[in-house]
Every structure is written in C-alpha cells, then in structure tokens.
Amino acid sequence: MPDTSPLLETAGPIARITLNRPAHKNRLQTEDVAALTEMFGRLAGDPDIRVLVLTGAGDVFSAGFDLNALAAGQTGSPESGPGNFAHMVDALEHLPQPSIARLAGGAYGGATDLALACDFRIGTPAVQAAMPAGKIGLHYYKSGILRYAARLGHDNAKRMFLTAERLDAAELLRIGFLTQLVAAEALDDTVAALAAVIAGNAPLAVQGVKLALNELAAERWDEAVFNTRAAAALASGDLREGIAAVLGKRKPVFKAR
C-alpha cells in the first residue's frame, strides 16, 4: 500500500484511524496533522461512534512529526507545537469517545504524545518509545508536557524528556505508558475485545466520566460543565434502559439519549 494521509474507517460504533506512511515509519507531515485534526473534529460530533482505535500501518506506530518540516522552520509556538501538532493531539484527548492506541511497534517523538492522549495503550513486546526533543534542541509544547506529567508522573516524564532514552515494552508498561502488554498474535483480538466492551456500555455515562477524569488530571475541572454532563446522563433514557436490562436479565440497547 503506498504512503497516504491517515485513513479513517468505521464499522458500526467503532472508528479506526490508521497512520499510513509505512515506508517512512508513519511520520506525520503537516498535511497529516491537519487531516487528523479534521477527523477528530468529525468524530467528536458523531453520536453513532462510541470508540476510536488509533494505529499505524506496518510494524511502527509512528516516528512523530516530520523532521524535514522542522528543518524548514515549522517549529510552531509554545502553545501550538510544530505544524499545529499540539492542537491535533489535544483534539484527540478531548474526544468524548474513549480511544485505544494499538501499538504494534515503536512510538517516537510526538507520536508518544499521540499515544498518551488515548485512554488505553495496548502494545506488544516489539514496542519501544523515546522522546528525543532534547537531543535536537526542541522545547516541547505546553499541553504535551502537561499530558506527560498527568499520565506518567513527573519523575517518569522527566526521565523521557531529559534523557531521550529509548525504553522497551516492559519498562513502558511499568511506568504506565502502556496500559496493557500482550503477545503480538493477541494484539488485534485484545484491542477488538476492549473496543466492543466500551461500545456496549452507556455512551453518555462513559463519555461524561472519561472527560471528567481527563479534566481532573489536567487540572481543568469545571464544576458547571461536570454538573451539566452528569445531569444529562442521570436524566437519560439510557439510564432507565440500563436498569431495566439488568432487572430483565437482557442485553441493554443504548441510544445515547
């Protein structure tokens, strides 16, 4: 398959985005960043989508932002990141739908932040990750630093940013970069099973709690926003359906309303 911009596919309530430049380790060019931002915006407004799986073609998740674009001066600002990379990753983190990073291989540079913006990161023993910004003199953008600290803790974030060392899968699991480590042959089944479980739960409750936890971790808590989301879920037909399904010993049919 020739290198292309990211591919978006949907199958029922599950969306899948594939970073699709395998000949170049799925590095993200400026146009790919723009395409991903648009895709995340589109998915955020789609009530039929309940889970996103993000993956890379071939045996590497992604080599991060294109170094040639950096060399051409696309270093961005402390807020936007190179090529508006920060805005793209923030859009992924702010998706109401839960997201799963399917990691069959390495994640480097900005791709580590892309993975950390997902709610789950499932990888194989082939996974490695490194944040080489310090090696090339790139000061990282604000939201990426905050996300690293929130997901990995300050000490592990410092280790990755200040040493730029490459960590293996076992160490990535230990520090919380990976949420689950599975054999390569079990990766697709594990991701599919998790996506199906999430898609089968009540979307208003799942999405509201996901966003609340992310906002708490990033110290963006807004009491009014939380109360609005929670009240909508508590008043929803989905809550009544969920209770009725448990009492009736049947599978619930949630409609996100």
CATH class of 7-198: alpha beta
DSSP β-ladder status, 120-123 and 14-19: unpaired
Which tokens belong to 136? 């090339």
CB 129 within 8 A of CB 112: yes
CB 14 within 8 A of CB 48: no
Q: What does each of the 257 residues of the chain score in pLDDT, given as a tens digit?
A: 688 999 999 999 999 999 999 999 999 999 999 999 999 999 999 999 999 999 999 999 999 998 888 888 888 888 888 889 999 999 999 999 999 999 999 999 999 999 999 999 999 999 999 999 999 998 999 999 999 999 999 999 999 999 999 999 999 999 999 999 999 999 999 999 999 999 999 999 999 999 999 999 888 899 999 999 999 999 999 999 999 999 999 999 999 88
CB 64 within 8 A of CB 108: yes
Residue 1 pLDDT: 61
CB 126 within 8 A of CB 166: no
1 C-beta neighbours (distance < 10 Å), count:
10
CA distance 36 to 70: 19
Domain ranges of the chain: 7-198, 201-247
Closest CA to 169 of 132, 126, 130, 131: 126
CA distance 65 to 170: 25
pLDDT, tens digit, for every residue of 198-230?
Answer: 999 999 999 999 999 999 988 889 999 999 999
Give the pTM: 0.95
